[in-house]
A and B are shown apart, each in its own frame.
Chain A
Amino acid sequence: MLAFILRRLASLFPLLLVVSFAFFAMLRLGRGDPAMDYLRLAQIPPTDAALVAARTELGLDRPLLVQYFSWLADALRFDLGTSWFTRRPVAEEILLFLPATLQLAGTAMLLTLAIGIPLGVWAALRRDRWPDHLTRVVAFVGVSVPNFWLGFLLVLLFAVTLGWLPAMGREGPASVLLPALATAAMSACVMLRLVRASVLGALGEPHLRFARARGLPGRTLLGRHILLNAMVPPLTAIGLHLGELMGGAMVVETVFGWPGLGRWALLAIGNRDYPVLQGFIIVMTTVFVLCNLLVDIAYAWLDPRIRLRQAA
């Protein structure tokens, strides 16, 4: 098992290297002159002399690969440069805003599981009866709802009309509920349908017929023979959902005034603040990749076939 984890961890480095270089190049080769943006954000008039000085200061006159490796050397020491706009270290700003986004995305992930799994099992066990039809319609509408708009509707119902939950900000544990629900809705619906299909698959397995023939009680059948087997495919889907939830959280944050990475990144996009954009994409990618690694480890732990096949 340890060998499996180390092997997967080692395979992440080349991937992150390629990804970070691709994004570094994309940012540099994108529209316009970074030195111009730098001077604009520093509020220095863009004279020819100032442009030349800025290019030297930022190292823009050096070859792209040299620039990349100097960025990489800093990044490996957790130094992601300084924001051209706020003049503060990018790593420091990320540490300031990342926890709120992770809290939102994490709560949304828990809601996705807490809604998707029980309803999916219920729909499968009551196949072609009303619970199945009802969840089918709900899931179909749920995957089509814009998450930020759902956020407004939830505020309208739970904050404005009923007054149960706060509409804005991040104060107290209850304030995460509405934004997390808006973020999670689509993933929960996808999860519901996936769990339903997976449970239906497990219900058709021959070993279940054998277990039933042995006269095992219904509870054991459901727990050990159906659910345990049916949970493996939804577990792999968690990795994909995490990405969707992290992206979704960034949009929903603006609806609820949630102080996360979304608003910070939006400011950087509007300002074309290169070090912030570079730091943003590499941190988000790393977080996402590490979460997927955790999912993979859990998967291998649950399903010995995976870790043995990869070792061979």
Chain B
Amino acid sequence: MKRLLLPLACVIVVSLLLGALLAPWLAPHDPTVTDLSNRLLPPSAGHWLGTDHLGRDVLSRLLWGARASFGAVAAILALVLALGCLVGTAAGMAGGMMDAVLMRICDAFMTVPTLVLALFMIGALGTGLTNVVIAIALSHWAWYARLVRGLTLSLRHRDHLAAARIAGLSRFAIIRRHVLPVIAGQLAVLASLDLGHWMLHVAGLSFLGLGLAAPAPEWGIMINDARPFFRTAPMLVVLPGAAILLTVLAFNLLGDALRDRLDPSLHSQAH
């Protein structure tokens, strides 16, 4: 059973990814074309999951919504890893004053609850999906910087790093060739456990109307759009939420399986 989890998680994540990537070809209808004569239809051969209050095809909107969600999470991942590795290795390799200042900045970012911080950032940057991505990344990078710094510190005085320095490698080359590859496994475990968490943040902030603008197909927006029809057509709320749940579940499954494979000692993150 345990050995099957990783392949199972991979299969789900890959099929969701394929659905997102191939949405323009897979989606049976245009996700934004409204058809008021076909409002709130139940599932049928033409519309597998029915239509919404503006006659838009729900399945097509879900598929396109996957694109937005996966895109946002991928961007957050890239930003968090870049910032975390940059600050973490800089603090860990430099030490001293630089280390102290960078870690105090991390402390400031870790003092505020992540979603509250993200809301504030969106207030400072303005609404829109790009700013939602930046806000979520800025409210999470400090944990990664901390981890990378700790791992870098533990590597700094190893013999092979000293040898690399004597051999004349630049600091940057040492970090790239001898530090990052060593800590990549731990980073992958932490990040895979956070992917679902970020996806929930993206969905929540979109639901609040802070992400993409209304007609765009996105899961959080679909739930917000369907609110007035919630009692008569609950499936319009249930389906996008189920899509979020399935995706987050698959990410968490992947994270757990990766942790078991790569790092049995690392316990689940509490945030």
Number of A-B pairs, beta carbon distance below 8 Å: 143
Among the stretches A53-61, A118-126, A216-224, A244-252, the one at the interface with B is A244-252
Within 8 A of A (CB), among B98-119: 104-105, 107-108, 111-119
Contacts of A285 in B (CB 8 A): 111-112, 116
Min C-beta distance of B227 to chain A, whole Å: 8
A138, CB-defined interface residue at 8 Å? no
Cβ contact within 8 Å between B271 and A240: yes
Contacts of A241 in B (CB 8 A): 270
Bound state CA distance, A237 and B107, in angstroms? 18
A203, CB-defined interface residue at 8 Å? no
- Of the candidates A32, A237, A247, A254, which one forms a contact with B115 in the assembled complex, judged by CB atoms under 8 Å apart? A247
Contacts of B121 in A (CB 8 A): 26
Closest to B226 in A: A152
Bound state CA distance, A19 and B268, in angstroms? 27
**Given contacts A30-B125, A140-B249, A153-B238, A281 and B116 within 8 Å (CB-CB):** yes
Contacts of A280 in B (CB 8 A): 119-120, 123
A243, CB-defined interface residue at 8 Å? yes
Min C-beta distance of B132 to chain A, whole Å: 11
Bound state CA distance, A241 and B114, in angstroms? 11
Which of under 10, 10 to 19, 20 to 34, or 35 or more describes the interface residues of A?
35 or more
**Given contacts A146-B241, A148-B204, A240-B271, A251 and B124 within 8 Å (CB-CB):** no
- Of the candidates A254, A265, A284, which one forms a contact with B113 in the assembled complex, judged by CB atoms under 8 Å apart? A284
Cβ contact within 8 Å between A18 and B116: no
Min C-beta distance of A142 to chain B, whole Å: 10
B158, CB-defined interface residue at 8 Å? no
Bound state CA distance, A299 and B196, in angstroms? 31
Bound state CA distance, A15 and B106, in angstroms? 11
**Given contacts A284-B116, A288-B112, A240 and B210 within 8 Å (CB-CB):** no
Cβ contact within 8 Å between A152 and B237: yes
Contacts of A146 in B (CB 8 A): 200, 203-204, 207, 241, 244-245, 248
- Of the candidates B120, B122, B210, B245, which one forms a contact with A23 in the assembled complex, judged by CB atoms under 8 Å apart? B120
Cβ contact within 8 Å between A244 and B271: yes
**Given contacts A31-B126, A148-B207, A250 and B237 within 8 Å (CB-CB):** no
Min C-beta distance of B63 to chain A, whole Å: 19
Cβ contact within 8 Å between A144 and B196: yes
Cβ contact within 8 Å between A281 and B112: yes
Cβ contact within 8 Å between B204 and A272: no
B252, CB-defined interface residue at 8 Å? yes
Min C-beta distance of B174 to chain A, whole Å: 31
Contacts of B157 in A (CB 8 A): none
Bound state CA distance, A136 and B137, in angstroms? 30
Contacts of B120 in A (CB 8 A): 23, 277, 280-281
Bound state CA distance, A157 and B108, in angstroms? 41
Min C-beta distance of B12 to chain A, whole Å: 12
B3, CB-defined interface residue at 8 Å? no
Min C-beta distance of A170 to chain B, whole Å: 19
Bound state CA distance, A109 and B108, in angstroms? 24
Report B's interface with A, CB cutoff 8 A.
Answer: 104-105, 107-108, 111-127, 196, 200, 203-204, 207-210, 223, 230-231, 234, 237-238, 240-241, 244-245, 248-249, 252-253, 267-268, 270-271
17 A-B residue pairs with Cβ-Cβ distance under 8 Å, sorted by A, are A140-B253, A144-B200, A145-B248, A149-B223, A152-B238, A160-B231, A244-B115, A246-B115, A247-B114, A254-B208, A269-B123, A269-B127, A270-B127, A272-B123, A281-B116, A281-B120, A284-B116
